[in-house]
A and B are shown apart, each in its own frame.
Chain A
């Protein structure tokens, strides 16, 4: 057949196949127009096409297997061992059971013969380099690597502890283990992997066939350290990373498939895959075809199947309902595509499972809850909202940046790792506690349990490693975080302020003890400074004025030490300036306004000097803006000096505006700027700039509304918006716009009512703010009733509504007047409320008399 002729035949064939089979023959006859050879040709091809399926329909490559028969190693001598039998083969190696030659008793080992391409010399070099680390890794659930060498004919091999057992998934299936038993086995494995990670190593090839369980139910992790030894690029240095392409793609993490270095997060991913398999007996991904690239594409791009959906209920010893929720979330968190968003450590993964087993809430909640970690900034203004002047955001800024400095400190990687664990744990507390607050009122006992449990864990850690200052530092950090948590003004009840102080003091004492024992690094110095600053502010919030001043003085002293060192960093300078601002604030609030303002000005001058010297770092400029805002607040609210406060606030606001231009995506900046704008509006109104005041406050509310709309899950934004709407309502009411004021207040109440604090059983700032708004609404009704020329019935309705609203607010104020933080403000509101109630009663009586 010639190519041209074939083209004709082919064209005719394809066209014929498109015809209706019934009319195909007739069509063909007509189309061939008398060319009988062509017609016959196409006819026979159509017949072949319609014929039975044959071997052509399945690619041969799917049936062909390529392999060589095994070389028989049985009986051969390798080093000082005789090979007994083969126990397994992997992509790059074969594993044999072997016995030591000269020993009387049977001492069995596993010998892993590696592929020749593994450059025996390099392998041995790396093995020698790592031998010490490997030897230190003694753990009952890790099969140890004993030795490495190469045979006479150059085949490299590794000698490992021999484990008799079966792969963990097969073990679970054969014994038909229940869910709890599977989870407990998995946690044992986690302990082993965590042990590896604590020694700054990565396993790199965690999969079912590398985790054996023996008849006694003992779990052994195999092949530890091998991925690293086999990796010529990274193996030689003392590196926590290794890079090998997994030959078992099912358990490979996305970063592994992309050829990126392996990290502890990759091991956590592999553990997630293994857990998925243990729970469901099914793979985590179900690609459309077996093609390798399909699978890798799924791993890199597609979400894994939820275990509860993957489980085949008919055969499993438990139901998918038992996997739904917690266990789904735990597995999915471990399998997150982004390593950063998996569990921070194996310990946390294991802990979460323990919590699930114990019936506690877990950390791997739906992701949106992460936001709660960032709610501290909101707390700042929550305090302002209840009449206090502290900027905890100052402190939070310091915490965040000192943490980053900590991250950069590479020499302290080991400490870092510990810190990660404990830090992760502390974060988990927060997540958990907030979980329980949002979901259920009255969950304080659960929270207490979780905090207590975690503290016990930490204390134990400290006891176990009493000589390890790192652990005690971690413990101090954990206590600090717990203190933060207990003192979270918006979410928790205010009575906890006292317990927050206890935790913070404990953290402080630990750091002091470390310091006096000679641990004198800059990081500890900074941490000591931070804790003093926090204690000063919490004490002030609790009206423990003496304590507040003492802590503030201690902070100033530490700041002085920090900034007088020879190699002082910008960050230290900023911390020093902040310490002055905080001390100044506390002095100003406790009767020494001018001295306090002077102290603050010293801090402000330091910020200005930095900026003048060309330092344009965001933290410095933000520090200045915050300090100015606080200075303005003190001038206005403590000193009643509104006119001098106006330019200070204006400048603070302009600084924020400039920063927003540069960092348009920074939500916190926008939030802070809106709050300064609120204050600026207040001061403008009080200095006769009525119209400006109203505009500024409306602007602020618009900004907060947009912010809260773009981040609907962040409670602190709704909280601030609720507060700001209440303030704006007061401003417009002064202008006589009652309807508009009522509208703002209604919006505020519905926002605040949606917050977790509203439903809590114990008093908190959300409830307090709602009470203030109720009082405002009540007074608004009273004003409307006074103005209305309408019927007596209408007037009576308005007075009754006002009475009910004010009555409700007094209930909250009555509880709040016993709260250390809220007492002063509560008493004041109570006085107003009682007067209003009196007026309501009077009017109602008058109306009913008539």
Chain B
């Protein structure tokens, strides 16, 4: 868990300079970190018993980067990566949960979704084998269906508007603000808002169609 702060900032820099392998390393780093942290945080202190996802990502950021002279854009990029990782974690959890309900094989489903996320992101680097523990995520039961459906829709959206799907990923899975999303994608805040509004309309429509 003691990842030198420097390596994270270096990876972020490499990513900015177009090195796509860097993002994969970053993701696996963050993924391991989040998992390790989740294990530690079974219950948080004496009062709040669970750790909110946003707080977890923020703490991961603190632990990995330690806020030492972090460029504001590095920070945004970090949270962008975290959004992808969170998406994967949450979707895998939701699928595992649904398949368990149906009596299926959680691990197999999880593996599939992982594959899909990898391909849809165009990442070719190997990610570390992760053993999924369904209890890793505590999510409202009725959200699981929404999340898997959303994930499918997002993958579709990705095929004809990659940027829009990224905006949704960051806003919805990463909890990024409009400002942070704009910084991470290097576009204006107005564009982020427009993309978000259009994507949400499309997702809502498709979601309704799928569930009807």
Chain A positions near chain B (C-beta within 8 angstroms): 1-3, 5-7, 10, 13-14, 17, 44-49, 51, 54-56, 59-70, 88-92, 94, 115, 117, 167, 209, 232, 245, 247-249, 257-259, 289-293, 296
The smallest C-beta distance from B141 to any residue of chain A, in angstroms, reads 12
A67–B54 Cα distance when bound, in Å, is 13
List 12 A-B pairs, Cβ < 8 Å.
Answer: A2-B160, A48-B201, A49-B197, A56-B150, A56-B172, A64-B137, A66-B37, A66-B41, A68-B42, A91-B59, A115-B40, A290-B54
A296 touches B175 (CB 8 A): no
- Known A-B contacts A1-B160, A259-B67; the reply to A66 vs B136 at CB < 8 A is yes
B43-51, B99-107, B111-119 - interface stretch: B43-51
B43 touches A89 (CB 8 A): yes
Chain B interface, number of residues (Cβ within 8 angstroms): 67
B59 touches A247 (CB 8 A): yes
B57 contacts which chain A residues (CB < 8 A)?
Answer: 61
A245 contacts which chain B residues (CB < 8 A)?
Answer: 62-63, 66
- Known A-B contacts A64-B139, A259-B68; the reply to A59 vs B204 at CB < 8 A is no
A616–B177 Cα distance when bound, in Å, is 57
The smallest C-beta distance from A301 to any residue of chain B, in angstroms, reads 13
Contact of B38 among A3, A66, A257 (CB under 8 A): A66
Could you list 6 further interchain pairs (A-B, Cβ under 8 angstroms) beyond the known A65-B52, A66-B136? Answer: A59-B173, A66-B51, A67-B50, A91-B40, A117-B36, A291-B177
Contact of A14 among B175, B194, B204 (CB under 8 A): B194
Chain B 157-186 against A: per-residue CB contact (8 Å), 1 yes, 0 no? 000110010000001111101000000000
**B58 at interface (Cβ–Cβ under 8 A)?**
yes
The smallest C-beta distance from A155 to any residue of chain B, in angstroms, reads 12
Contact of B201 among A46, A65, A92, A292 (CB under 8 A): A46
The smallest C-beta distance from B199 to any residue of chain A, in angstroms, reads 9
A290 contacts which chain B residues (CB < 8 A)?
Answer: 52, 54-55
A293 contacts which chain B residues (CB < 8 A)?
Answer: 58, 61, 75
A14 touches B205 (CB 8 A): no
Chain B positions near chain A (C-beta within 8 angstroms): 1-2, 5, 34, 36-47, 50-59, 61-63, 66-68, 75, 86, 89-90, 133, 135-140, 143, 146-147, 150, 160-161, 164, 171-175, 177, 194, 197-198, 200-205, 207-208
Contact of B45 among A248, A258, A289 (CB under 8 A): A248
The smallest C-beta distance from A256 to any residue of chain B, in angstroms, reads 10
B38 contacts which chain A residues (CB < 8 A)?
Answer: 66-68
A259–B6 Cα distance when bound, in Å, is 13
B137 touches A65 (CB 8 A): yes
A831–B169 Cα distance when bound, in Å, is 92
B67 contacts which chain A residues (CB < 8 A)?
Answer: 257-259, 296
B201 contacts which chain A residues (CB < 8 A)?
Answer: 13, 45-46, 48-49
Contact of B90 among A10, A54, A61 (CB under 8 A): A61
B68 touches A65 (CB 8 A): no
A62 touches B200 (CB 8 A): no
A129–B62 Cα distance when bound, in Å, is 29
B147 touches A60 (CB 8 A): yes
Chain B residue at minimum C-beta to C-beta distance from A55:
B146
- Known A-B contacts A51-B204, A92-B40, A258-B68; the reply to A68 vs B135 at CB < 8 A is yes
Chain B interface, >50% SS class = helix
A48 contacts which chain B residues (CB < 8 A)?
Answer: 201-202, 204-205, 208
Chain B residue at minimum C-beta to C-beta distance from A93:
B40
Chain A residue at minimum C-beta to C-beta distance from B60:
A292
B177 contacts which chain A residues (CB < 8 A)?
Answer: 289, 291
B58 contacts which chain A residues (CB < 8 A)?
Answer: 291-293
The smallest C-beta distance from A150 to any residue of chain B, in angstroms, reads 17
B89 contacts which chain A residues (CB < 8 A)?
Answer: 66
Contact of A64 among B75, B138, B203 (CB under 8 A): B138
A3 contacts which chain B residues (CB < 8 A)?
Answer: 160-161
A67 contacts which chain B residues (CB < 8 A)?
Answer: 38, 41-43, 50-51, 135-136, 138
B42 contacts which chain A residues (CB < 8 A)?
Answer: 67-70, 89, 94
Chain A residue at minimum C-beta to C-beta distance from B205:
A48
A56–B169 Cα distance when bound, in Å, is 11
A69 contacts which chain B residues (CB < 8 A)?
Answer: 42, 135
The 3 closest A-B pairs by CB, nearest first: A292-B58, A65-B50, A48-B205
A209–B48 Cα distance when bound, in Å, is 12
A296–B147 Cα distance when bound, in Å, is 31
A6 touches B46 (CB 8 A): no
The smallest C-beta distance from A434 to any residue of chain B, in angstroms, reads 40
A248–B47 Cα distance when bound, in Å, is 12
B52 contacts which chain A residues (CB < 8 A)?
Answer: 61-62, 64-65, 290
Chain A residue at minimum C-beta to C-beta distance from B50:
A65
The smallest C-beta distance from B174 to any residue of chain A, in angstroms, reads 6
Contact of B86 among A10, A61, A291 (CB under 8 A): A61
A49 contacts which chain B residues (CB < 8 A)?
Answer: 197, 200-201, 204
A68–B204 Cα distance when bound, in Å, is 33
A167 contacts which chain B residues (CB < 8 A)?
Answer: 46
The smallest C-beta distance from B104 to any residue of chain A, in angstroms, reads 22
A70–B40 Cα distance when bound, in Å, is 9
B137 touches A66 (CB 8 A): yes
A195–B2 Cα distance when bound, in Å, is 32
The smallest C-beta distance from A386 to any residue of chain B, in angstroms, reads 55
The smallest C-beta distance from A38 to any residue of chain B, in angstroms, reads 14
A209 touches B198 (CB 8 A): no
B172 contacts which chain A residues (CB < 8 A)?
Answer: 56, 59-61
A65 touches B54 (CB 8 A): no
B139 touches A63 (CB 8 A): yes
A70–B201 Cα distance when bound, in Å, is 41
Contact of B202 among A45, A54, A55, A59 (CB under 8 A): A45
The smallest C-beta distance from A64 to any residue of chain B, in angstroms, reads 4
- Known A-B contacts A48-B205, A60-B147; the reply to A65 vs B138 at CB < 8 A is yes
A68 contacts which chain B residues (CB < 8 A)?
Answer: 38-39, 42, 133, 135-136
The smallest C-beta distance from A566 to any residue of chain B, in angstroms, reads 46
Contact of A90 among B45, B66, B175, B205 (CB under 8 A): B45
Chain B residue at minimum C-beta to C-beta distance from A114:
B40
A61–B90 Cα distance when bound, in Å, is 8
B75 contacts which chain A residues (CB < 8 A)?
Answer: 293
A59 touches B175 (CB 8 A): yes
The smallest C-beta distance from B77 to any residue of chain A, in angstroms, reads 13
A91–B58 Cα distance when bound, in Å, is 14
B39 touches A60 (CB 8 A): no
A62 touches B194 (CB 8 A): no
Chain B residue at minimum C-beta to C-beta distance from A17:
B197
B41 touches A91 (CB 8 A): yes
B34, B44, B55, B75: which has the most chain A beta carbons within 10 Å? B55
B171 contacts which chain A residues (CB < 8 A)?
Answer: 59
A70 touches B90 (CB 8 A): no
B44 contacts which chain A residues (CB < 8 A)?
Answer: 89-91
A78–B122 Cα distance when bound, in Å, is 49
The smallest C-beta distance from A118 to any residue of chain B, in angstroms, reads 9
The smallest C-beta distance from A783 to any residue of chain B, in angstroms, reads 69
Chain A residue at minimum C-beta to C-beta distance from B36:
A117
Chain A residue at minimum C-beta to C-beta distance from B207:
A54
B46 touches A88 (CB 8 A): yes
B204 touches A62 (CB 8 A): no
Contact of A54 among B50, B86, B197, B204 (CB under 8 A): B204
A2–B157 Cα distance when bound, in Å, is 10
Contact of A88 among B45, B136, B164 (CB under 8 A): B45
B55 contacts which chain A residues (CB < 8 A)?
Answer: 290, 292
A66 touches B53 (CB 8 A): yes
